[in-house]
Every structure is written in structure tokens, then in C-alpha cells.
Structure 1
Amino acid sequence: MTWAKELEELRAREALAEQMGGADKVARQHGRGKMDARARLAALCDEGSFREIGKIAGSAKYDANGDLQSVTPAPFLFGKALINGRPVVATADDFTIRGGAADAGIARKMVQAEMMAHQLKLPIIRMIDGTGGGGSVKTLEQIGATYIPAVPGWGDVVTNLDTVPVVALALGPTAGLGAARTVASHYSIMVKGLSQIFAAGPAVVDGLGEAYKGGAANHEEAKEALGGSAIHTRNGVVDDEVASEAEAFARARHFLSFMPEYVGQPARRSACDDPADRREEALLSLVPRDPKQVYSMRRGMEMLFDTGTVFEIGKHWGRAAITAFARLDGWPVCVIASDPSYLGGSWEAKTSEKVERFVKLADQFRLPIVHLVDNPGFMIGREAELAGTIRYGVNAMNAIYRATVPLASIVLRRAYGIAGSAMSNAERYQYRYCWPSGDWGSLPIAGGLEVAYKAELEAADDPQALLEEIRERLAKVTSPFRSAERFNVEDIIDPRDTRPMLCEFAGLAWRRLGAD
């Protein structure tokens, strides 16, 4: 006597689960240019590594004899998988079943996925496509009552943010809980033209009396106008925008390659064939002699870090600072770099918020920080004051002072005011190098000469000649070598020596962090 009959039923139920919402709904999903949930899991994870949990869970119908007639699978899939050969929890919403709404699902599946991540210390990837919330207005009539909102398992979501890397991919319209699950992550991605995020969708907004803005002609345009990637990757809600689902999967895998599997585990060093002592001649001319001329900090980063390893995140918001992961002699590091091509590199509110978040991420996952500095200060003016720039700026500075991971700063050019002092924690050992192009102080001298020497200039026979004489005199006083004489800066280096110095820093930093 065997259990062949029961195994036959199990296989039949598994086959029903693999049909998802049915052929028509799956075809409709593909017709929208979207992959289905099972295809997404196969594309994201290492080949053949996904082991599904709770595959046959769903809503079943039985005939009068108690025999199975049909099963509607739960619209949420999860399981253990490998990414880059390392174990993860992989999840995917199934939009082909009631648009991924939780009222068609089994809440315990989502809760168990989140629990699995932090209790087994596994990174979790959420592929979000749908509301994932409490259902529609019709649901209330079916229940027969309304209820005070609560999210089952949200405590596990919060615990994961403190415990393991969390990646969220918005792969369709995500509203309510789906939007919240996207934002509750360490790294998030939207697909241009395919993903939208809303606190509530266009129909709800319209129902509340707020007409669609931007003259949207149809529902699809309304969704994009209300919550498309052009909005949320510019306001800091989501980190990155990509052109396709395949690119989203690739970026998720790349992000995880820099991360440890859980807080407290060291991240891994990669094999590196880029010489640590490589010296780039082009660094000599990277910073222009004209202080008003901009240059490409990203070009400088490509020359300083291991070839091809710079992985920028949050490119479209807080643009005065570049935040990226990179490697030095194979060691992973977090990079903050001024971007003089945007607002001259001045930190406004959004840039400060971006720096604060990135520093906290680096400190949480124990990744050393490299700060490439060309910062003329906090943004000034009425708009900057209205945005609360000083509060966000001080929060960023506080994050740098609270960080306990090793930090190295390279001063390429400007470091002025409070924002300039936020390059590192001045009360700790300063692992810092400055280029000969360094220019620093409490405020830019060039902008204050006419005020500081107003009386002398008004009394001069030739005010312009006197002004030039004062400029020339002060240029000698503000030489970075004068600061080095007093050990106000530790070392001025040849820019070509920057990579070898940073590789040395990375090795010492990871020695302190306890890497093998």
C-alpha cells in the first residue's frame, strides 16, 4: 500500500497553482508588457534555485461529495532561492489574481516570508505588483462590516529593516500596502512606464474630488501622472529607475553583491585584477584651475575605484551628492561624492536627506565610507530656507558623526561652512587626504572681499586695482600648504596617488571590521 493517490492529488494541485489566474489573465499580464510572477522568480534567482513554499495554498471549491473542483492560488509566491550563489528569500505578487490584492490571498504567507528573512538571517527581495492591501469596497459588503486598519506582520517588516538587506522592485501599479512594502526597503527600483506608486490610485483620488492633474486623457496616463517613476525617483521615494524588468533584476542582484547576508556579517571581498597601485595621469587635470568651472566627478570615480565596480544609486534625486557602492582592491565600500555640475555641489534639503540615508545604510551593514569632497556649503536663499535645508543638513552631519565605520575623505576642491565640516567626524582620527586644488574655510573668500574691504576700496583711487591686489595677497594666505603647515590638514597628495592611498585605507578598514 503506497501514498500514490495522495501524491497524484498533490501534483494536480501544484499544476493548478502554476496556472496562476488562468490563461486569459496571464495573457493579459503579458499583453501589458509585464512578466508573470513565476517568470519573474525564475529570472531573478540563480537558475533552478527557487524552492517554493506554500505552493498549493489558495481558495478551493469542493462539490457536494467534498471532492476538489478548482483552486484559486494565493496571489503571493515566496520561497528560498540563491542569488549570486547566496541564500535569499524571494517573493513575488501575482497580479493575475485580483490584481495582487491581499483580500484574495492568505495573509500568513506574506507574514511567513517576512519572518523567514529575519529569523534565518536571509536577504529578502519583494517583487511588488498590485495593491497587496485590504481589498475593494465590495469586500466590505461581503464581510458585513468595516474594520479599523491593521497590517498583519508589519512588525516583521520593521524587524527586517534592522536585520537583513531588503530589496523592493515595483513592477506594476502599486497602491496602499503595495506602495508601503516598496518603500520599506534598503534599495528600491521602478520600471519606467510600467511601474506606478500611489498612496491611493487615480480612481480613489478622483472619487475624493481631486481631478487628475496634467490633463491625463485615460486611466493609464492618469496612473503615470499621479505616481510614475519620473515622480518617485526624483523625490526620493524610490532609489532607481530602469528601462526593463530584466534591468531591474540585474540591479537587484548587483546591489546584493555588495551586501552581507545580515547585519553583523562582514560583506565579501571580490577577486580583483585592477592593480591597487594604479596611478591615473588624467587625475592631474580633473579639477580645473578656474574655480568657477565644473568637472565630472563620475569620471574621477571611475579612475579611482576598481574598474567597472562603481554602482550608483539614487542618481535622479538629491543630485548635488553622488551615492554609490564601489570596490577598492576588491573590498566593498560606500561612496559619497560631491557633484559640482549640480548646484555647484551645494547641499540642499534633498541632497542632505540622501546623504543621511546612505550613511546610515553604510553604518548599519558595516561598509567603510569614502567621501570625495567638493562642497561649497549648504544651499542658500529663500527657497532653501523654505525647504528647511539647515535641518536636513544637520541631520546628515549628525549621521556622519554617529557612524562608527571607518571613513576616509579626499578633499578635491572646496570645503566651506558647516556643510564642508560634515565631510567626516572631526572628533575621530581623520583619515583624510587633500589635493593641491583644495580651497576651504568658514565661507568663500571670493564672495566676501568687497564687504570685508569696503572702506579701503571706497577710499582707493583705483578700487579695481586694489581689489586685484587684495585677491593676490589672499590667494597666498588661502594656499592649502598654509593649512598643512599648521597640520589643519593631514596630508596634501599628488592626485595620482589617490587610488593607492584609498586601497590602503580599504585594507586597514576591513582589517578593523573583522573581515577574513
Structure 2
Amino acid sequence: MSWEPEIDELEHRRVLAEQMGGTERVERQHRAGRLTVRERIESLLDRGSFREIGSLAGKAQYDAEGQLSGFTPANCVFGRGKVMRRPVVVSGDDFTVAGGSADAAIWDKFKMAETMAREYRMPLIRLVEGSGGGGSVRSIEKTGFANLPGGLGGQSGGLHLCCATLAAVPVVGLALGPVAGLGAARVSVSHLSIMVREKAQVFVAGPPVVEKLGEKRTKEELGGHAIQLAAGTIDMAADDEEEAFALTRRFLSYLPDSVWELPPRGPCRDSPNRACDELAAIVPRDPRHAYLMRRVIDRVVDRGSFFEMGPAFGRSVITGLARLDGWPVALMAGDPLHSGGAWTAASAQKIMRFVDLAETFHLPVVHLVDCPGFVVGLEAEKAGTMRHAVRALAAIHQSTVPWCSVLIRNVYGVGGGAHQPQTHHVMRFAWPSGRWGSLPMEGGIEAAYRAELAEAEDPDARRAEITARLERLRSPFRTAEAFGVDEIIDPRDTRRLLCEFAGIAAPLRKAGETRFSIRP
């Protein structure tokens, strides 16, 4: 006697599960310009690679004879698959079932995705749409009592698992529609967070809750991409879901599958010895004039390899992943177009998280330095700049990965001094345009020579005389004579030297868990 009846029922149940919330709700999802969770998984993963887990989980209805009469699948779809032939775990919210709310969730599915990714050492991709939290207030009526978050028998949302996953494997969180509460947390507690412009919004609580507190806002005004990118809650925005998936694939290409492996070397069709004449004149002689640091980055890394992260947050510092002769590196640089490259509270937070990412996944760091120090003034003090800055300093000095700094222009104060960790040997080069000291001369002369300037018959002439004298003394060549800087280089040689650094650093990378991992 065969098991054909049960096999037929298995297929029937799978068909019901794949119908998600039903034809009407699927059409509503499409009318809103969004894919369904199953369409997303199919678009993200290599064709035919998805292996679902828990496909039959949900709420079934039975007739008087005990026969299946209806089925509503759980609104979490998860399993394993491949991205560019590399195994991953993917977990997605089904907005067509209860709007992605936890009212219809089976929590073990969310949690198993986190545990499976961590223990089987596979990157995790979260496709988030909905609240994903403790459910609406209607859940009280269903259960007969109020859930104590994190209490006995209650749901913590699995955020402790999310944090543990961060220390083990690459995690990408994608906001693909309205995302609130725990759903927003699940997007943010990741190494890279992405949202889709106009289609996705991210907030602690949505407009109905906020309005009850006296603030009437639309979803876009409250949690649209313009808000969340500038706030640093979300790293990147995509024009559509396909672009979001492409960004996900590209990000993962720089990283190992887990901390127990090393970042893979990619192909390189760009000569490591390529020189760029433009770099010899890219920094203006007038220190009041800015230049395009992103142009410097593009000229020294493998062509087209720079993947910028968080471009709208902490804008005085640029961070991203790149390749040098095929080797993946973490690259950060000061941006003189914003606050002159000085560290703000936001840029310090950005640096800390980025250095933690490099440490977690064994990425050598390249730092293109242009930092006149920390921003100053009342607003900087009110933002707690010093507190955030010293946290970034701690991350830098705690890092153990190979590190190479190129001093492009300004290196001043405590911020400038953090251009490299002081705990291990670092390769460091300086361009002839380098300017450094405890304080910039602009303003510093007023403080150091106040009495002399006050006594001068012509303070402006005396100030000019002092400035000219100090300018001669602070030449980078004077510092090199005292072996106060490792080596001054022709800017056109920068790519060649950085590629050499990447090759030398590659065998020094060590797989395994780090002493500390990324702080979300």
C-alpha cells in the first residue's frame, strides 16, 4: 500500500501555502508597486536554488470530519538558497497575510532563520515588510492577557539572536514596504540596511500611533528614505526592489560567508601599477579650497570597485568596501566638502560601526586621511561630539586588522591622531600636500601668540610674519627629516603602494571570532 494519498495532500497543502493571503491581497500588493515575498525570494536568489523550511506552517481549518477545509500560511517564509552560487539563509515577511504583523506569525520560523544562519555559517538576508512585533492590540483579546515583552512565555522578538548573528555572519536587512516596531529593528540590526524609495518607510511607530501623541504625519514624512538615510537608521536607498537585491549581492561579494573564513579575492582587470597623473594636482594649494575625495578613491582602487555605505549620514567621512588588485578592503576617507572633513557626532558613529565591520570580517583598512579634528562650537557640544568621537577612537585602537593610512591633507588634533590604531604596526604614507599639527594654524596663532599680537604696532603684519615662519617649519619634509612620518610619496604612486599593501596584508588576515564584533 503506497502513501500516495498523503503525498497528494502534501502537494495540496503546498499549493495553499503558495497562495499566501489570497488572490485579492496579492493583487493589492502588486497595485502598491511591491512584489510578494515569494516573488522577492525568487528574484533575489540564484534560479531554482531556494529550499523552503516550514512551508506547511500556518493556521488550518478542518470540517466536521476532520478534513482540511482552509489554510492560512504563516506570514514568514524562510529557507536556504544561493546568491552568486554562495549559500545563504533568507527570511521574508508576507504582507498579504495580516500585513506582516506578528498576529499571524509563528515565531519559531523567525528564530530558526537566525540560528540556522549562525550555526551553519551562511549569510542572512532579511526581507522585511510589516510590524513583525508583538502584534496589534487585538492580540490581547485573542490570548486573554497582555504579553510581557521578554517575559516568561513571551516573545522577545528574537533580537538577542539577531545580535548574536551579527557577530558570526554577514547580515543584510531590507525594508521593502512600511516597516514599524520590531520590523524596523530587524532591518537596522544588520551590517547593511537598505530601503526602497517611496515604497518603504521605517519607523518606531507608524502615523496612527504618532498622531495619538499629537503629531500628525504621513508615512513618508515620518519614516521615508530622506529621513532615515540622514539619521543613519538606514544605510542605503534603492529605486526599486531589483536594485535593492543587486546592492545586496554586491555587498556580500566583498565578505566571507562567516567570520570563520576570509574575504575572497575577486578578479582584477586593472593594473596594480596604474598611475594617475591627475592625483599630482588634485589637492588645491589653498587650504580653504576643497576637492573631490571620491575622485581620489576612484583613481586608487580597482576601477568600479568602490561600494559606498551610508553616504547620507556622517557626511564628513566616506566609508565603503573596495578592491585593490582584487583583494577586498574596508576604505574610509575624510570628505573636505562637509565640515572640512572634521568629525561630527554622526561621522564618529559611522566610523565606529564601519571599523567594527572590518574587524568582524577580517578586512584590512585603508584610510585616506583629511581630518582637521573634531567639529567645534555649541551645536557640536550639544550633540555630544566628544563622547561619540572617543567611542570611534576606541574602535580604531581596538582593531587588529592590517591598516594603511595615506595622509592626503589635514591631520590635526585628537581626530587627526586617530588616523590609525596605535596598537600595532601600520603602513603610512603622506602626500606632499599633507598638513599636520596639534592645532590648525588658522585660529591657533591667535591663541598661542595673543600677547605678542596685542603688543605689536601692526597686529596684521605681525600675524602674517608669524604665519610665514610657521608655514616654512611645518613643511612635511621637515617632519620627514625627523622621521616623524614614515614616507612621503608622489601621489601618482598611491595605487601601486596600496595594492602592494593589500597583497602583503592578505596572508596576515586571521579567520575566526574576533574579540569584539560590530555594535549595531
Kept in 1, the 8 Å contact 2:362–2:510? The answer is no
RMSD between aligned residues: 1.3
Q: Superposed, which structure 2 residues align to 1:186-225 within 5 Å?
A: 186-207=191-212, 209-212=213-216, 216=217, 222-225=218-221
**Partner in structure 1 of residue 378 of structure 2:** 382
Structure 1 69/274 Cα, relative in aligned 2: closer, same or farther at 3 Å? Answer: same
Letter in 1 for 2:73: P
Structure 1 102/506 Cα, relative in aligned 2: closer, same or farther at 3 Å? Answer: same
How far off its partner does 1:147 sit? Answer: 2.2
Q: Superposed, which structure 2 residues align to 1:127-142 within 5 Å?
A: 127-142=127-142
Question: 2: CA distance between counterparts of 1:451 and 1:387?
Answer: 25
Kept in 2, the 8 Å contact 1:264–1:366? The answer is no
Quick one: higher RCO (CA 8 Å, sep 6+), 1 or 2? 2
Cα deviations across residues 201-234 of structure 1 (Å, max 9, x unaligned)? 1112223x3221xxx4xxxxx1111111111111
**Partner in structure 1 of residue 257 of structure 2:** 261
Structure 1 430/111 Cα, relative in aligned 2: closer, same or farther at 3 Å? Answer: closer
**Partner in structure 1 of residue 421 of structure 2:** 425
How far off its partner does 1:41 sit? Answer: 0.3
Of the three residues 134, 157, 161, the one matched with 1:156 is 161
Structure 1 450/107 Cα, relative in aligned 2: closer, same or farther at 3 Å? Answer: closer
Letter in 1 for 2:83: I
Kept in 1, the 8 Å contact 2:271–2:325? The answer is yes
Q: Superposed, which structure 2 residues align to 1:480-495 within 5 Å?
A: 480-495=476-491
Question: 1: CA distance between counterparts of 2:411 and 2:121?
Answer: 40
Is 1:324 matched up with 2:320?
Answer: yes
Question: 2: CA distance between counterparts of 1:100 and 1:498?
Answer: 50
Structure 1 322/95 Cα, relative in aligned 2: closer, same or farther at 3 Å? Answer: same
How far off its partner does 1:78 sit? Answer: 0.5
Structure 1 180/459 Cα, relative in aligned 2: closer, same or farther at 3 Å? Answer: closer
Kept in 2, the 8 Å contact 1:260–1:365? The answer is yes
Using the aligned pairs only, state the percent identity.
50
**Partner in structure 2 of residue 274 of structure 1:** 270
How far off its partner does 1:12 sit? Answer: 1.0
**Partner in structure 2 of residue 219 of structure 1:** none
Q: Superposed, which structure 2 residues align to 1:23-172 within 5 Å?
A: 23-150=23-150, 151=156, 153-172=158-177
Unaligned stretches of 5+ residues in structure 1: 217-221
Secondary structure of the structure 2 residue equivalent to 1:142: helix
Is 1:305 matched up with 2:301?
Answer: yes
Letter in 1 for 2:486: E
Cα deviations across residues 106-136 of structure 1 (Å, max 9, x unaligned)? 1111111111111111110000000112222
Of the three residues 281, 285, 293, the one matched with 2:289 is 293
Secondary structure of the structure 1 residue equivalent to 2:230: coil
Secondary structure of the structure 1 residue equivalent to 2:179: strand
TM-score by length of 2: 0.95
How far off its partner does 1:152 sit? Answer: 5.2
Number of residue pairs aligned between Structure 1 and Structure 2:
506
How far off its partner does 1:513 sit? Answer: 1.1
Of the three residues 140, 152, 177, the one matched with 2:182 is 177
Question: 2: CA distance between counterparts of 1:23 and 1:389?
Answer: 52
How far off its partner does 1:347 sit? Answer: 0.4
**Partner in structure 2 of residue 440 of structure 1:** 436
Secondary structure of the structure 2 residue equivalent to 1:397: helix
Is 1:367 matched up with 2:363?
Answer: yes
Cα deviations across residues 365-391 of structure 1 (Å, max 9, x unaligned)? 110000000100100000000111011
Kept in 1, the 8 Å contact 2:159–2:186? The answer is no
How far off its partner does 1:351 sit? Answer: 0.4
TM-score by length of 1: 0.96
Cα deviations across residues 247-298 of structure 1 (Å, max 9, x unaligned)? 1111111111111111121010001110011110000011111111000000
Cα deviations across residues 442-462 of structure 1 (Å, max 9, x unaligned)? 001132224433444444454
Question: 2: CA distance between counterparts of 1:363 and 1:486?
Answer: 33
Structure 1 60/224 Cα, relative in aligned 2: closer, same or farther at 3 Å? Answer: same
